[in-house]
Structure 1
Amino acid sequence: MSEINSIYAHLLSPSYKQEISNWLKEDVPSFDYGGFVVGEAQEVAILYGKSAGVVAGIPFFEEVFNQLECRVEWNLKEGEEFEPIKEVARVYGRACNILLGERTALNILARCSGIATRSKKCIKLKEKCDFRGVIAGTRKTTPGNVFLERFRIVEKYGMLVGGADTHRMDLSSMIMLKDNHIWSQGSIKKAIGRARKIGGFSLKIEVECLSEQEADEAIEAGADIIMLDNMKGDSLKQTAKTLKQRWAGKRAFLIESSGGISEENIVEYFSPDIDILSMGSLSQGVPHVDFSLKIKK
């Protein structure tokens, strides 16, 4: 794999290669009838980018074809933007193997690139408006099994390539206390206390707050991150400002805004008092980038 083309490839655990094997197995559980038709002649297939976007997912695309004894040459670097129709890469190998990996590879690349493209658009808006906070994804990623099994890694990878923060990868990455956790303990203070006992010094605690009063309670109890959930407009910005002023020099914490933030309205949430904007829309309802793989005639 070319290091110049895969900027985050070394982040990936080797286990992703087994996931690729599983996805290929799911796609061809018995006979590859189409592969029999095309045969084993050595061919070249061209990967075309048919809609504008950011290329992301190169390690996954390459691994599909590595496992099928094919070679990929890239014309674009990972993270690079392109306009259609662009020759993005070429795949060399036996015709049957190229077509065997085609759909799995394209599905991964299209989804990952779609997430990177949306992430990049939001980052550009952040830079244009000189917002100093973090644009982050969420855990609203693809669940399931078989082809969807552990597809979260592809989606989080796309966020990174697009310039966004991945937020927590899973439930073990950070302690996030939402309404159900707080309800079970009877108060924010009790929930944080219980979480701190098991999380120790190494895990941050984030608390979902629906009001300024709840935020104060969470800050007093030692929360590291205050999520102002579903607050909007002037109310959100004023609450964030008030909290930062009230606790200045007394407690260190970050303020996160979440709920209903999209590419279309993200600018409305930019504020010097907000440290993180988390967006489920970075991975939910994202248009895929359109790619096709055509054997050269």
Structure 2
Amino acid sequence: MPITGGAPAHGTVAHLLPQTYKRLISEWLEEDTPSFDYGGFVVGEELAEARLLGKSKGVLAGVPFFDEVFRQLDCTVEWHIPEGMSFDPITHCATVRGPVRKLLLGERVALNTLARCSGIATKSLTLMTLLRAAGYTSTLAGTRKTTPGFRLVEKYGMLVAGVDAHRHDLSSMTMLKDNHIWSAGSITSAVKAAKAAGGFSVKVEVECQSYEDADEAIAAGADIVMLDNFTGQGVRECAKRLKDKWGRGARGPLVEVSGGLTEDNAREYVCEDVDVVSTSSIHQGVNHVDFSLKIVPKGEIVLPREGEGESMEV
């Protein structure tokens, strides 16, 4: 079944995308063919059909980007499995139809985007499943350690897997890290300046190295405190002290844990007083899901519609 944890109640994750993503795709296509399309000259404009094959186990993510690549090239895409669904190799995920030159023109841009986005969704779901099995019921989030120019795709992959994307950019929330604190002179000074600049609508989060840092940040008005690079035991003790003093639920601040969290150690940080577990491990250094786009040879019978989307031998 599709993953629905990150989808809005009245729509799909794709409905969150800004119209600017279409401009990004135009730029990617221009980058890939800045001058003459020599290979396209060889194959011409004959109408053709291509099969998108999922060749490694994964979660399908990045459908709107794949669709838009081929829409801009006057091709159509018919999906045989929904976005968010896990699949095993080899699965016929979609069929793309259009002039053969344009199928090949969009092939690499579309596949690269889909492979990266699906890899992030797959990794995100794996860690989410692990945390849920360990009894963690709150939020798993990514970070802002994304690839310049490709952030929208990477954040989208997290959302498809039901993971919180965290802040999207520097304008989304004020996060005060060690350099901010040192430059401002103190946590209290930094928080007060951030509150004055952002007003009531911009939350303030403070990166903290100790209970004392977090306590000062909350006293100064921080909405969220991030316990950075704590041990698992240190997190449990610090988070409990903060919640005992400042309150739980809507009355108290959010406690986030981050710094070096992976599938190997995330269980150590699971406790009821942690509201957010954030990690870049779900989107940095992630293996891509392997896809290929294969033109159907002339005269070959196209697979029947019934059963498409299931694993098949190729």
How far apart, CA to CA, are the structure 2 residues paired with 1:160 and 1:216? Answer: 32
RMSD of aligned Cα (Å): 1.3
Q: Which residue number in structure 2 is paired with residue 106 of structure 1?
A: 111
Task: Report the 3-state secondary structure (helix = DSSP H, G, I; strand = E; otherwise coil) of the residue aligned with 2:200.
Answer: coil
| Pairing of 1:113-132 with structure 2 (within 5 A) | 113-132=118-137
Could you tell me how far 1:262 is from its partner in structure 2?
1.1
Q: Which residue number in structure 1 is paired with residue 14 of structure 2?
A: 9
- Is the 8 Å Cα contact of residues 243 and 252 (structure 2) preserved in structure 1? no
How far apart, CA to CA, are the structure 1 residues paired with 2:45 and 2:246? Answer: 69
Q: Which residue number in structure 2 is paired with residue 287 of structure 1?
A: 287
Task: Report the 3-state secondary structure (helix = DSSP H, G, I; strand = E; otherwise coil) of the residue aligned with 1:200.
Answer: helix
- Is the 8 Å Cα contact of residues 247 and 253 (structure 2) preserved in structure 1? no
Q: Which residue number in structure 2 is paired with residue 146 of structure 1?
A: none
Q: Which residue number in structure 1 is paired with residue 269 of structure 2?
A: 269
Instruction: Write the letter of the residue equivalent to 2:222.
Output: A
How far apart, CA to CA, are the structure 1 residues paired with 2:264 and 2:32? Answer: 36
How far apart, CA to CA, are the structure 1 residues paired with 2:125 and 2:17? Answer: 21
How far apart, CA to CA, are the structure 1 residues paired with 2:293 and 2:29? Answer: 17
Q: Which residue number in structure 2 is paired with residue 237 of structure 1?
A: 236
- Superposed CA offset, 1:219-277 (max 9, x none): 11111001000001211211111111122379620100000011222212111111101
Number of equivalences: 286
How far apart, CA to CA, are the structure 2 residues paired with 1:251 and 1:163? Answer: 26
- Is the 8 Å Cα contact of residues 206 and 224 (structure 2) preserved in structure 1? yes
How far apart, CA to CA, are the structure 2 residues paired with 1:209 and 1:127? Answer: 26
How far apart, CA to CA, are the structure 2 residues paired with 1:214 and 1:203? Answer: 21
| Pairing of 1:158-169 with structure 2 (within 5 A) | 158-169=157-168
Could you tell me how far 1:59 is from its partner in structure 2?
0.3
How far apart, CA to CA, are the structure 1 residues paired with 2:132 and 2:235? Answer: 21
Query: Which 10-residue stretch deviates more, 29-38 or 119-128?
Result: 119-128
1:59 is aligned to 2:58: no
How far apart, CA to CA, are the structure 2 residues paired with 1:28 and 1:79? Answer: 31
Instruction: Write the letter of the residue equivalent to 1:293.
Output: L
Query: Which 10-residue stretch deviates more, 35-44 or 262-271?
Result: 262-271
How far apart, CA to CA, are the structure 1 residues paired with 2:44 and 2:263? Answer: 46
| Pairing of 1:194-273 with structure 2 (within 5 A) | 194-248=193-247, 252-273=252-273
Q: Which residue number in structure 1 is paired with residue 311 of structure 2?
A: none
How far apart, CA to CA, are the structure 2 residues paired with 1:83 and 1:265? Answer: 27
Scaled by the length of structure 2, the TM-score of the pair is: 0.89
How far apart, CA to CA, are the structure 2 residues paired with 1:70 and 1:79? Answer: 23
Could you tell me how far 1:153 is from its partner in structure 2?
0.3
Task: Report the 3-state secondary structure (helix = DSSP H, G, I; strand = E; otherwise coil) of the residue aligned with 1:201.
Answer: helix
Could you tell me how far 1:126 is from its partner in structure 2?
2.5
Instruction: Write the letter of the residue equivalent to 2:209.
Output: L
Q: 2:94 aligns with which of 89, 97, 109?
A: 89
Task: Report the 3-state secondary structure (helix = DSSP H, G, I; strand = E; otherwise coil) of the residue aligned with 1:135.
Answer: strand
How far apart, CA to CA, are the structure 1 residues paired with 2:131 and 2:205? Answer: 23
Query: Which 10-residue stretch deviates more, 231-240 or 83-92?
Result: 231-240
Instruction: Write the letter of the residue equivalent to 2:195.
Output: R
Q: Which residue number in structure 1 is paired with residue 296 of structure 2?
A: 296
- Is the 8 Å Cα contact of residues 219 and 251 (structure 1) preserved in structure 2? no
Give ranges in structure 2 of 5+ residues lacking alignment.
Answer: 1-10, 298-314
- Superposed CA offset, 1:92-149 (max 9, x none): 0111000000000000000000000011112212322231220000000001xxxxx3
Instruction: Write the letter of the residue equivalent to 2:177.
Output: K
User: Which consecutive segments of 4 or more residues in structure 1 shift more than 3 A?
Assistant: none
- Is the 8 Å Cα contact of residues 118 and 263 (structure 1) preserved in structure 2? no
How far apart, CA to CA, are the structure 2 residues paired with 1:268 and 1:50? Answer: 34
How far apart, CA to CA, are the structure 1 residues paired with 2:16 and 2:81? Answer: 20
How far apart, CA to CA, are the structure 1 residues paired with 2:118 and 2:14? Answer: 15
How far apart, CA to CA, are the structure 2 residues paired with 1:65 and 1:256? Answer: 40
Instruction: Write the letter of the residue equivalent to 1:93.
Output: G
1:137 is aligned to 2:142: yes
Task: Report the 3-state secondary structure (helix = DSSP H, G, I; strand = E; otherwise coil) of the residue aligned with 1:115.
Answer: helix
* Percent of paired sites with the same residue: 59
How far apart, CA to CA, are the structure 1 residues paired with 2:15 and 2:242? Answer: 40
| Pairing of 1:181-200 with structure 2 (within 5 A) | 181-200=180-199
Could you tell me how far 1:68 is from its partner in structure 2?
0.4
Query: Which 10-residue stretch deviates more, 265-274 or 26-35?
Result: 265-274
1:69 is aligned to 2:74: yes
- Is the 8 Å Cα contact of residues 225 and 255 (structure 1) preserved in structure 2? yes
